[in-house]
Structure 1
Amino acid sequence: MNQGRLRRSIAPQALARFKKRVRELTPRTGGRSLAQIALALSRYLIGWRGYFGFCETPGILRGLDKWVRRRLRAIVWKQWKYGRHRFAELRRLGIGKDLAAQTAGSPHGPWRISISPALATAFPNAFFKRLGLASVYVKPVE
């Protein structure tokens, strides 16, 4: 497609600033619901997409979307706090008993667990879309 010519990309400094700002908007503690966090975060993501959405490296934008969703899953895991509550919530969201027990009893931290199959199934991308979370990546119209 773009062979033989340069492609517009996002500077590494801008990506670092983006991640720093998202971390500020999504503290893992603070007593805010996921819906409140998603609303505040969406405003920033829409503005950022308006400025950087012209880039010709969609893989970077899709990667940022994945990173944001993983961060939100880690927040949920942190909010659930204890193994029993985590197990009960995973079961309530339709996760099988064995997978819920294995995930809830895991010694790993929230960031590591946020990429687990249990949380990916409990909180699919469509869940975040219903929550109102904006995407950084918008598929170009051809």
Structure 2
Amino acid sequence: MLNELDKELEKRGLRFVRYADDCVITVGSEAAAKRVMYSVSRFIEKRLGLKVNMTKTKITRPRELKYLGFGFWKSSDGWKSRPHQDSVRRFKFKLKKLTQRKWSIDLTRRIEQLNLSIRGWINYFSLGNMKSIVASIDERLRTRLRVIIWKQWKKKSRRLWGLLKLGVPKWIADKVSGWGDHYQLVAQKSVLKRAISKPVLEKRGLVSCLDYYLERHALKVS
């Protein structure tokens, strides 16, 4: 039935996008928006016999719009889409839950769960312009995984063994292994960033948010 709405909007020459019963119509002014909202709502109720939910029907500017999880911003070459800040916030919260230190789970299984969330979220939003967003998430995620690994090593002897295995010189490993349980502070030290680096975590199976996004985005826009 909503196909009839599509035909009507096309006949009127309106620019619109619709997914199921969620529709956005773009016009050039607030006055035009008011006219279109009234006439289209009337068409839906009188001609199609459907009820318009007026609590969800509103006039808004593109920057304030949230549609299917996307937000919008204007660049020098026109309007662009990216995940709405609410969508980003929920994704960050999901990753935070999956990287809780108190969650007793094997690192391999944890990474598998992270990869499922990363691929799913990025596949959905890959059309959007979000390079800086995923780069920031990537860095934060690697820091949280370093915290987990450092905590799992527990004792100084185990930390020394782990650092040596990752190629850290012995005199540095001796010093670093005694840093103790200030996990967040230790995880941000440059020596640990180099030891448990992006390539090391990728070797353990972790998907890079940034690399995966760049790959999927290129396919979407090509």
TM normalised by structure 1 equals: 0.84
CA distance, structure 2, for counterparts of residue 55 and residue 100 of structure 1: 42
CA distance, structure 1, for counterparts of residue 187 and residue 165 of structure 2: 18
Paired position in structure 2 for 1:34: 107
CA-CA distance at 1:121 after TM superposition = 2.3
Q: Mark the runs of 5 or more structure 1 residues left unpaired by the alignment.
A: none
Q: Equivalent of 1:83, from 156, 179, 183?
A: 156
Q: Tell me, what secondary structure is at the counterpart of 1:8?
A: strand
Instruction: Give, as a single letter, the amino acid of the residue that structure 2 aligns with 1:134.
Output: V
CA-CA distance at 1:119 after TM superposition = 2.0
Contact 2:157 2:177 in 1 (8 A): yes
Give aligned-pair identity as a percent.
26
Structure having the higher strand fraction is 2
- 1:93-108 to 2 correspondence within 5 Å? 93-107=166-180
Aligned residues between the structures? 141
> What does the per-residue CA deviation read over 1:48-74, in whole Å, with 9 as the maximum and x for residues that have no partner?
111222221311111111111111111
Q: Equivalent of 1:18, from 91, 96, 119?
A: 91
CA-CA distance at 1:136 after TM superposition = 2.4
CA distance, structure 2, for counterparts of residue 107 and residue 80 of structure 1: 11
Say which structure, 1 or 2, has more relative contact order (CA 8 Å, 6+ apart).
Answer: 1
Paired position in structure 2 for 1:59: 132
CA distance, structure 2, for counterparts of residue 51 and residue 136 of structure 1: 13
CA-CA distance at 1:39 after TM superposition = 0.6
Q: Tell me, what secondary structure is at the counterpart of 2:188?
A: coil
CA-CA distance at 1:108 after TM superposition = 6.2
